[in-house]
Amino acid sequence: MYQEHDDLSLERAATYPLWRYMDLWKFLKLINRSKLFFSNLEKFGDQNEGKVPKQFYKWMVEQDKLNGRNDDFPKYYKEYMDKHTSNKALANSWSAIEIESFALWKMYAKDKLGIAIKTDIYRLINSFKRSTETIFIGDVNYFDLRKRNYKLGSQISNFVNKNKFYEFEKEVRCLILLDNDENVSSKSVEVDLNVLIKEVYLSPFAVETGLLEVIEFLRDKHNLNFTINKSNINDTWL
Which amino acid does the sequence have at 51? K
List all residues 6 or more positions away from 126 whose beta carbon is below 8 Å from its beta carbon: 2, 192, 195
Q: Calculate the average pLDDT of the chain.
A: 87
DSSP states of 133-169 as a string?
S-BEEEEPEEE-TTTT-----SGGGGGGEEEGGGGGG
Taking Cα atoms as reference points, which of 99, 118, 94, 125 lies closest to residue 198? Answer: 118
Q: What is the pLDDT of residue 145?
A: 78
Beta bridge partners of 22: 115
Cβ burial 61-79 (10 Å sphere, 16+ → b, else e): beeeeeeeeeeeebeeebe
Q: What is the pLDDT of residue 27?
A: 95
Q: What is the pLDDT of residue 88?
A: 87
Backbone dihedral angles phi then psi of residue 191, each to the nearest 5 degrees = -135, 160
Which amino acid does the sequence have at 2? Y
Helix axes 211-221, 24-33, angle to 10 degrees: 10
Taking Cα atoms as reference points, which of 175, 88, 191 lies closest to residue 132? Answer: 191
**Distance spanning both ends of the chain, measured CA to CA:** 36
Residues 120-142 pLDDT 10s: 999 999 999 989 999 999 999 99
Residues 52-105 pLDDT 10s: 777 777 776 776 677 666 666 666 666 766 666 778 899 999 999 999 999 999
* Residue 220, phi-psi category: left (phi > 0), alpha (psi -120 to 50), beta (remainder): alpha
The mean per-residue pLDDT over the stretch 168-189 comes to: 92
